[in-house]
Amino acid sequence: MTATEASARDGLRDRLSASLERFDRQRVALYALLVGLVAFYLSPLWGGLTTAFKTQTGFVRTTPLAPPTPEWFTVEPWELAFQTVQGGLVNSVTFVVPATILSALLGSLAAYGLTKLSWRGQVGILVLFLAGVFLPYQSVLVPLRQFWSAVGLESWLAFAPFLAERADLIELTITHTAYGIPICTILFRSYYKTMDDEMIEAAKIDGASAFGIYRRIIFPLSLPMFAVALIYQFTQIWNDLLFALVLVSTRSNYVVTQSLNELQGSMSQEYNIQMAGAFIAALPTIVIYVVFGRQFAKGITGAS
């Protein structure tokens, strides 16, 4: 090997070493940035969790992010919070589950009619659905209360005392179902627009009805988008407080957000109990995300 070749080889090795060193520094900086962002976004969650396991004295004498010491560690806030919100949890499940399923199913049917069936007036109906998506809760609170007062659902259910006692929850179910149909329709419509029409045309040639096509073809292919709609609707309805404040007047029918609001002290704030209640109230939505997470990802990406 000549001196020129050896020099060229050494130069190439030096350049590769410098490039690898720069790459390692960039990768370390990137990882450090990502870790910092994760810590920044998770710090409120961590602070709330540590607060929920501290006594009131421990919360006052330590910073929120500091873990509880054995001296100030307790699970009493979770017990007290659960005693307060357990009734609200049951009531919320009672109306949130049917409202979520109904709004997703009806939204799917509406989207099917707006995309895969041809009929006059589709554009006008679609505009109404779009308007429903952007209609804020606050704008309908007064007419909503007036409407249900005029209906008098409790008197209609007088033949069934069990249902009459839960008329508030039935009103919430119907209200959230109606309010959720527009957004579910838009979600499913965007999903159905990407579907291939060959199977539908073949089914029509074989004599399948419009509902038969939906039941045997459209519905099975819609499961990923159903996961998206169910997660979205469940989260929105579960966390709603406005409609509950307007429609629920009986204390025994309080939903979880109303029960959580009762943890707000009048003279002093017991933040450890409030944080424990917040985590208990959030647990069902976390479970829904875990159960339907895979289908949710497929629906978001448009995969079948």
- CATH number of the domain encompassing residue 162: 1.10.3720.10
In the prediction, which pLDDT does 22 show? 65
Q: What pLDDT score does 62 carry? A: 84
CB atoms within 10 A of CB 20: 10
Q: Are residues 11 and 82 in the same domain?
A: no
Q: Does residue 70 fall inside a structural domain? A: no
CA dihedral 9, 11, 12, 14 (to 10 degrees): 120
The pLDDT assigned to 60 comes to: 83
Q: 81 and 180 share a domain?
A: yes
Do 124 and 57 share a domain, yes or no?
Answer: no
pLDDT at 24: 67
The pTM of the whole model exceeds 0.85: no
State whether residue 73 is helix, strand or coil: strand
Is residue 200 domain-shared with residue 85, that is, in the same domain?
yes
Q: Would 69 be classed as within a structural domain?
A: no
> Strand, helix or coil at 264?
coil
Calculate ∠ Cα 240-149-143, nearest 5°. 60
What is the C-alpha separation between 271 and 265, in angstroms, rounded?
A: 9
Residue 240 lies in a domain: yes
Is the Cβ–Cβ distance between 272 and 59 less than 8 Å? Answer: yes
Per the listing, tokens 């003279």 go with: 267
C-alpha 16/C-alpha 10 separation (Å) is: 10
Whether 137 and 243 have beta carbons less than 8 Å apart is answered as yes
Are residues 162 and 53 part of one domain?
no
What pLDDT, on a 0 to 100 scale, did the predictor assign at position 14?
Answer: 58
Per DSSP, the residues of 281-296 read: HHHHHHHHHHHHHHHH
pLDDT at 254: 93
Residues 235 and 187 in one domain: yes
Q: Would 68 be classed as within a structural domain?
A: no
State which residues form the domain around 20: 3-61
Average pLDDT per run of 10 along the chain, which is 304 residues long? Answer: 55 60 71 88 89 87 84 90 92 95 95 86 86 86 92 88 90 94 92 85 86 90 90 93 91 91 75 91 89 74 56
At 208 the pLDDT is 85
How far apart, in whole angstroms, are the C-alpha atoms of residue 104 and residue 186?
11
